[in-house]
């Protein structure tokens, strides 16, 4: 029997889904968790695909660990918690081509790519969906440049170390981008708050006359009754 899981590297915890699958077979959950955590501790902080191969007759099991998804590797490499929910509008990091090549090398055996260049392009494609810049440019633009051969030298030579001065330049550029993004987001939030306040004021102005009219009707009935 095979059970596929996506766990937190080195810190898997008991859960009802796992208990429902293993409990009926008499497999000790704590032993499974301990073995999975030992096998994935090198991926601490990442989501890791794990496969349990279980022999129901002997209650023995084997843990097979796969490389984390590209998105998880990118987030760890660039020190971000999550990707952008609005990729075209908000960018979350600025990677170097060397970092992309390094990750492509790491994931090459798990990617359906014919060569390292295709793998690099695939990693760049994931950057598009996460809202990550590469070399100060939108990742989609870098994808085209990879295809055109602009980074063939770096890819063929498997250059995976970003020079310190280049890394600093990328960080400084992204710092400026982030400030601009934060400013725009604040302006949009302020505009939205003002719009909501205006709507609330308008609603209150509409409700007040109606409430006054409703309140006057009992008084009119009382006056008529007295007559």
Are both 75 and 52 inside the same structural domain? no
Confidence tier at 73 by pLDDT (50, 70, 90) = very high
Tens of pLDDT along 10-20?
899 888 878 88
Are both 131 and 166 inside the same structural domain? yes
Are both 41 and 84 inside the same structural domain? no
DSSP-assigned letters across all residues of 8-71: ETT-----HHHHHHHGGGT--HHHHHHHHHHHHGGGTTSEEEEEEEEETTTTEEEEEE-PPPHH
pLDDT of residue 202: 84
Task: Please report whether residue 36 resides in a domain.
Answer: yes
**Bridge partners for 6 per DSSP:** 49
pLDDT of residue 2: 86
Decide which of 132 and 219 is more confident: 132
Q: Which two tokens stand for residue 59?
A: 């209650």
Decide which of 225 and 172 is more confident: 172
Domain boundary pick from 40, 65, 90? 65
Are both 32 and 119 inside the same structural domain? no
Domain boundary pick from 65, 84, 101? 65
Are both 137 and 165 inside the same structural domain? yes
pLDDT of residue 103: 94
Task: Please report whether residue 208 resides in a domain.
Answer: no
Confidence tier at 208 by pLDDT (50, 70, 90) = low
pLDDT of 179 above 90: yes
Task: Please report whether residue 184 resides in a domain.
Answer: no
Q: Domain total for the chain?
A: 2
Task: Please report whether residue 224 resides in a domain.
Answer: no
Q: Kindly tell me the burial class for residue 187, based on how many C-beta atoms sit within 10 Å of its own C-beta (0-12, 13-18, 19 or more).
A: exposed
74-83, 167-176, 180-189: which is most confident: 167-176
Task: Please report whether residue 41 resides in a domain.
Answer: yes
Decide which of 22 and 98 is more confident: 98
- Of 105, 116, 45, the closest CA to residue 75 belongs to 45
Are both 107 and 88 inside the same structural domain? yes
Task: Please report whether residue 130 resides in a domain.
Answer: yes
Are both 52 and 125 inside the same structural domain? no
Domain boundary pick from 65, 94, 120? 65
Task: Please report whether residue 204 resides in a domain.
Answer: no
Question: Where would I find the H helices in the chain?
Answer: 16-22, 29-40, 70-78, 97-107, 116-130, 139-148, 152-156, 164-226
pLDDT of residue 158: 94
pLDDT of 222 above 80: no
Whole-model pTM: value is 0.72
Task: Please report whether residue 44 resides in a domain.
Answer: yes
* CATH number, domain containing residue 38: 3.30.1550.10
Are both 57 and 74 inside the same structural domain? no
Are both 30 and 76 inside the same structural domain? no
Are both 141 and 88 inside the same structural domain? yes
Range of weakest confidence among 53-67, 86-100, 111-125, 211-225: 211-225
pLDDT of 165 above 90: yes
| Over residues 127-143, mean pLDDT | 96
Are both 57 and 81 inside the same structural domain? no
Helices 70-78, 116-130: crossing angle, 10 deg rounding:
70
Are both 148 and 85 inside the same structural domain? yes
* CATH number, domain containing residue 171: 1.10.10.250
Strand-strand pairing, 93-95 and 132-134: parallel
Q: Which domain, by its residues, includes 134?
A: 70-175
């Amino acid at each position: 029997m095979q059970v596929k899981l996506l766990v937190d590297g080195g810190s898997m915890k008991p859960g009802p889904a796992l208990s429902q699958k293993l409990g009926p077979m008499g497999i000790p959950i704590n032993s499974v968790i301990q073995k999975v955590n030992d096998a994935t501790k090198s991926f601490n902080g990442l989501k890791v695909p794990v496969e349990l191969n279980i022999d129901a007759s002997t209650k023995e099991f084997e843990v097979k660990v796969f490389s984390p998804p590209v998105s998880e590797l990118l987030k760890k490499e660039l020190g971000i918690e999550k990707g952008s929910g609005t990729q075209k509008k908000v960018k979350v990091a600025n990677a170097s081509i060397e970092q992309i090549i390094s990750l492509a090398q790491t994931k090459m055996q798990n990617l359906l790519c014919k060569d390292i260049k295709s793998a690099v392009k695939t990693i760049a494609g994931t950057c598009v969906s996460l809202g990550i810049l590469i070399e100060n440019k939108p990742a989609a633009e870098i994808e085209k440049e990879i295809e055109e051969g602009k980074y063939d030298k770096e890819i063929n030579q498997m250059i995976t170390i970003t020079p310190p001065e280049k890394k600093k330049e990328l960080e400084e550029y992204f710092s400026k981008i982030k400030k601009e993004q934060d400013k725009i987001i604040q302006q949009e939030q302020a505009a939205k708050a003002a719009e909501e306040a205006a709507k609330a004021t308008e609603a209150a102005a509409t409700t007040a006359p109606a409430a006054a009219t409703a309140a006057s009707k009992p008084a009119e009935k009382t006056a008529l009754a007295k007559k």
